[in-house]
Structure 1
């Protein structure tokens, strides 16, 4: 027969920390991108420093997402200039939502 142990633990939280619920955290995270524009390096950081090649193959040039990507281009939420330097510009909040919507589909 298995045993059950019940424990009551007190954890002291430093004064410079706050506990918040997940929904509030997600909202704060969303606000951190509000009104911002990302380049490809910003997108890489948001995706855990994936390579530009990985982002192109799995997200930006993936046929599975071509309609959504084209819609973002048409709406001015994504700009692909095809030039040297950083040819990609993204409306951060829109790209963040796209990544959240498809998170489980990517080959992380």
Structure 2
């Protein structure tokens, strides 16, 4: 049996609105990644990124011993853990934390 295929060539014109550009997906990812370089997040920024409140973030990510060992700046990680009672604030290296969240998504959200 011989397979025969028919093809139809269609040419279309799509107008891109002023102020908009068409960017390859890989390039978009690179742009997003580079936008995090040198940035720090507050706890409020992390809440927006994770879409959870700080209590949940602390219980499910920051205070889990395995994650804390990896994340703590004292161990070369991307999270500054404030000393209780000092008034210090949480601080997160944005790119490092974003990478961690991506790499450990299933571990963070599994019950």
TM-score band (shorter)? 0.7 to 0.9
Q: By how many angstroms is 1:89 displaced?
A: 0.7
Q: Which residue of 2 aligns with 1:52?
A: 54
Compared CA separation, residues 107 and 76, structure 1 to 2 (3 A): closer
Q: Which residue of the partner structure matches residue 37 of structure 1?
A: 40
Change (3 A) 1:104 1:76: closer
Gapped regions of structure 1 (runs ≥ 5):
1-5
Higher relative contact order (CA 8 A, sep 6+): 1
> Structure 2 length normalisation: TM-score?
0.71
Return the TM-score normalized by structure 1. Answer: 0.72
- Aligned 8 A contact 2:71 2:78 in 1: no
CA RMSD of aligned residues (A): 2.8
Unaligned runs of 5+ in 2: 1-7
State the SS of the aligned residue for 1:106: helix
